[in-house]
Structure 1
Amino acid sequence: MSSIFILNVFGYYIDIIGGRCQIAAMAQREKFHHGDLRHTLIEAGHSVLNEGGVDQLSLRDLSTRAGVSQSAPYRHFKNKEALLQELIDGGLHELMLAYQEAADLAASPKERLRRACHAYLAFAADRPGLFQLVFESNGKFSATSISSSDDSPSFVLFVKMVAAAAPGLPEDKRLEAASACWSVIHGFASLKSHGEFPKEVDETSLQINVVDIAIAAIRQIV
Structure 2
Amino acid sequence: MSSAAPDRRQTYHHGALRAALVDAGLALAAEGGPDRVVLREVARAAGVSHSAAYRHFADREALLAEVSRHARAELAADMRRRIDRTDDPRGRLHAVGTAYIDFALTRTGLFRTAFGAHSAVGTQADKPFDDPHRILGQVLDEAEDAGLLDPELRPGADIAAWSAVHGLAGLLLDGSLPTTRDDIDFAVERVLGLVNRGLLNREARTGPVRR
Normalising by the residue count of structure 1, what TM-score does the alignment of the two structures yield?
Answer: 0.69
Q: Which runs of 5+ in 1 are unaligned?
A: 1-25
- 1:85 is matched with 65
Instruction: Give, in angstroms, the shift of residue 211 of structure 1.
Output: 2.1
1:209 aligns with 2:187: no
Distance (Å, rounded) in 2 between the aligned partners of 1:49 and 1:209: 30
Distance 1:46 1:196 in 2: 27
Instruction: Establish whether residue 131 from structure 1 lines up as the match of residue 118 from structure 2.
Output: no
RMSD (Å), alpha carbons: 2.9
How far the C-alpha of 1:187 sits from its partner, in A, is 0.8
Check whether the contact 2:26–2:71 (CA below 8 A) recurs between aligned residues. Answer: no
| Counterpart in the other structure of 2:34 | 54
Per-residue CA deviations over 1:192-216 (Å, capped at 9, x if unaligned) read 2333323567223322332222222
% same residue: 33
Q: Does 1:104 align with 2:62?
A: no
Query: Distance between the aligned counterparts of 1:174 and 1:199, measured in 2?
Result: 32
Q: Deviation string for 1:5-45 (max 9, x for gaps)?
A: xxxxxxxxxxxxxxxxxxxxx87333x33555433322322
- Could you say if the C-alpha distance between residues 103 and 56 of structure 1 is closer, same or farther in structure 2, counting changes exceeding 3 Å? closer
Q: Provide the rounded CA distance (Å) in 2 between the counterparts of 1:36 and 1:90.
A: 16
1:165–1:102 CA distance, 2 compared to 1 (3 A): farther
Matched with 1:191 is 171
Q: Is the 8 A contact 1:114 1:211 kept in 2?
A: yes
Q: Paired residue for 1:71? A: 51
Q: Report how many aligned residue pairs link the two structures.
A: 189
Q: Residue deviations 1:63-90, cap 9 Å, x none?
A: 2233322212123222212211211221
Which secondary structure does the structure 2 equivalent of 1:105 belong to? coil
Q: Which has the higher strand share?
A: 1
Greater relative contact order (Cα 8 A, min sep 6): structure 1 or 2?
2
Aligned equivalents of 2:198, 2:62: Cα separation in 1: 37
Q: Deviations over 1:82-125 (max 9, x none)?
A: 21121122133333333433443343111111112112222323
Q: Which structure has the larger Rg? A: 1
- Residue 59 (structure 1) shift: 0.8
- In 1, Cα distance between the equivalents of 2:105 and 2:73? 17
2: distance between equivalents of 1:60 and 1:91?
A: 20
- How far apart in 2 are the matches of 1:94 and 1:109? 22
Whether 1:159 aligns to 2:134 is no
Structure 2: tracts of 5 or more residues without a match: 1-6, 202-211
